[in-house]
Homo-oligomer: A and B are copies of this chain.
Amino acid sequence: MTFKKNQSAGYLVNHVARIFAHGLAERIKPLGITIGTFPVLLELWETDGLTQKQLVDRLQIEQATMANTLARMERDGLIIRNKDKNDGRVQRIWLVEHVREMYDAAIAAAMEVNASTLAGLSKAERRQFIILMQKVIETSRNRVSHAS
């Protein structure tokens, strides 16, 4: 029996992630933001002035990836960074005013993408989708923490 990619969780989930990414990208492009910045914005909308380290911990993105994403965001005028007074190593990240006001539109876009991409699923299936993803992430989180 041969390996069938359309029965492989890893293959399928990569495909699905690209579908979501594509949908989100086209919907937030008018706002002047991109998919990589979106999770960062979500955190900052909730808590402005986080450090890079805090963003890395909350978003499970590698530090180097975060540094690059923040550099692009600063370049594009979405955030400003300034050194912490008490600790010269840490950079605090602050939203620029007009970005703080984009919250509603951005959230609407994200909810639209979720709804339309999952349109083929029943309400129960959509709930199950979320639960399964959370469980997989939890499994991985445990594995990683054991390993270290």
B60–A15 touching, CB < 8 Å: yes
Binary interface profile of A, 103-133, with partner B (CB < 8 Å = 1, else 0)?
A: 0000100110110111111000110111011
Copies of the polypeptide in the assembly? 2
Q: Report the nearest B residue to A12, measured CB to CB.
A: B133
Q: Are B19 and A114 in contact (CB under 8 A)?
A: no
Question: Nearest chain B CB to A12's CB is how many angstroms away?
Answer: 4
Closest-by-CB residue of B relative to A121 is: B135
Closest to A42 in B: B5
A6 in contact with B134 (CB, 8 Å): yes
* A14 to B137 Cα, complex, angstroms: 11
Query: In the complex the two chains form, what is the Cα distance from A43 to B2 in whole Å?
Result: 11
